[in-house]
Structure 1
Amino acid sequence: MLTPEDRLAITDLINLHGHLADRGDFDGLHTLFAEGVIYDVSALGGGVLVGLSAYREAALALGEANPVAHHVTNIVVDEAPDGTVHVVSKGLGVMAGGSFGSVTYEDSVERAVGGWRITRRVVRPRREPLRP
């Protein structure tokens, strides 16, 4: 059962992503992601990245196409009956030219030595409004 402290730590973990990404702190990624993280950006055309080094290489390859700011909101932490922990959140990316985009992050997190880590992240862009 997740404690209030666990929920706060997981929320802080999700919030940390934007800070690390925006300052290019690749050395700090180990505090956010598991070493073998599966980072699925297929819906954005980036495929499925496996491991911290693949994440770093993809970010460096994007270069100037990276957002200048990542903002995370609407974090919802859910523990499944089998004990797995899933987190869904919304992300806003602001680009250098002033355009922006919205995504949904779907994360699986696990407790590890040193705290919680994201083991799997699926990034889904939001491009269409709700249609009744």
Structure 2
Amino acid sequence: MALTPDDRTAITDLISLHGQLTDDGELDRMHEVFTEDVVYDVSDVGFGELHGLAAFRDAAERLGDGNPVGHHVTNVVLSEVDDDEVHVRSKAIAVHADGSAGSAVYRDVVKRGPHGWRITRRTILARRKPLGR
């Protein structure tokens, strides 16, 4: 069964919601984006793997003013695995308080559950060189 247009919209909105909630400091609403047992892999940027929403929240709070002031997501591509699982690849641009910016790739595993679509695993890969090198 192919993803419906409603599924595609819901998943794309889910990917976008992460940045909205993070930038607004609404970490208590991350259950709207991630499963409780999410694996948030930020190894490529030096923070290892975070397991669960509590670990995600703790890491964001510890980072404090080191967090980007703006998370922007673009180029969202969905690849259906089965009726209840989709792999999503998107581009992220982070804008920092000092005006610097960085680029990354989000690789997400998104699953349909009792509360709709949620990210069960996110891997963040920093973009450091042009043309995929």
Normalization by structure 2: what TM-score? 0.95
**Structure 1 residue 113 displacement after superposition:** 1.6
In the TM superposition, residue 95 of structure 1 has moved relative to its aligned partner by 0.2
Query: 1:14-71 CA distances to partner (integer Å, 9 max, x unpaired)?
Result: 0101101101111110000000000000000000000000000000111111000000
- Aligned AA for 1:103? A
Change in Cα spacing, 1:131 to 1:3, as seen in structure 2 (3 Å) is closer
Counterpart in the other structure of 1:129: 130
Q: Which residue of 2 aligns with 1:37?
A: 38
Q: Which runs of 5+ in 1 are unaligned?
A: none
| 1:88 matches 2:89 | yes
Percent identity over paired residues: 57
SS in 1 for 2:8: helix
Structure 2: give runs of 5+ residues left out of the alignment: none
DSSP 3-state at the match of 1:80:
strand
Q: Give 1:63's aligned residue.
A: 64
Shift of 1:84: 3.0
- 1:112 matched residue in structure 2: 113
Query: Structure 2 vs 1, CA of residues 92 and 131 (structure 1 numbering), >3 Å: closer, same or farther?
Result: closer
Moved more, 93-102 or 74-83: 74-83
Partner residue in 2 for 1:7? 8
**Count of residue pairs the alignment pairs up:** 132
Q: Distance in 1 between matches of 2:104 and 2:83?
A: 27
CA 1:52–1:81 in 2, change beyond 3 Å: closer, same or farther?
A: closer
